A and B are shown apart, each in its own frame.
Chain A
Amino acid sequence: QVQLVQSGAEVKKPGASVKVSCKASGYTFTSSGFSWVRQAPGQGLEWMGWISAYNDNTNYAQRFQGRVTMTTDTSTSTAYMELRSLRSDDTAVYFCARTGGYCSSINCYNDYMDVWGKGTTVTVSS
């Protein structure tokens, strides 16, 4: 069965970076992409961006541009999301989700998120 297994909880100090992993299994890794979605305590879902596992094309939410990097490693079927210059309001649960889509030279399009990881809690505190 299709499964996404995320890395464990992290505690970081303000200004630090965090890198969350998402290991995929049960399907052809390069046939889809990954969205990263976060949820602050008691809040709704916030889309951070998307990466194609086929060609590493990325599409980041404007508010995270310059602070986030999404990558994939096809040899281990793992997607990564690194967030830098952490602030206290980055405290949240971070989810990866399998997501179809594509990017052309002009624009991108993302499909629905059909399989989700269980989430990684990132706490930013001094």
Chain B
Amino acid sequence: QSVLTQPPSVSAAPGQKVTISCSGSSSNIGNNYVSWYQQLPGTAPKLLIYDNNKRPSGIPDRFSGSKSGTSATLGISGLQTGDEADYYCGTWHSSLSSGHWVFGGGTKLTVL
């Protein structure tokens, strides 16, 4: 079981908007930045969102991120068939001894 909880799958039609949630705790999301990664089939993950809501150069503004308390959300608007992929949230998990990075279990997006 992942420390961060994501829905296993979401789906929507082309052109629609979808959101993917990522739920954690005060030890991770609540006190650290969240990033989101897109993994197209058979490829390496790619950074989509960092520091909760910032997009790297080259990432279209159809992708957005937000955070509230111990949860974060990835939004994808104007869905395209090329957006079909697995999406992962990630953040630092703080602890007294030594922290570590954690990923959500991943969400498979299907564009119907």
Contact = CB atoms under 8 A, between A and B. Distances in A.
Given A95-B44, A117-B44, A112 B35 contact: yes
B63 interface: no
Contacts of B102: 47
Contact of A112 (B39, B50, B86, B105): B50
A114 B47 contact: yes
21 contacts: A44-B86, A44-B105, A44-B106, A45-B45, A45-B88, A45-B103, A45-B106, A47-B103, A95-B44, A109-B92, A109-B99, A110-B92, A110-B101, A111-B33, A111-B50, A112-B51, A114-B47, A114-B50, A116-B47, A118-B43, A119-B44
A114 B92 contact: no
Contacts of B104: 44
Given A45-B106, A113-B45, 15 more contacts: A44-B88, A44-B103, A44-B105, A45-B90, A59-B99, A95-B44, A109-B92, A109-B99, A110-B92, A112-B33, A112-B50, A112-B51, A114-B50, A117-B44, A119-B44
A107 B35 contact: no
Interface in B28-59: 33, 35, 37, 39, 43-47, 50-51, 56
Contacts of B2: 44
Q: Interface of chain A, helix or strand or loop or mixed? A: strand
B90 A113 contact: yes
Interface of A: 35, 37, 44-47, 50, 59, 61-62, 95, 97, 107-119
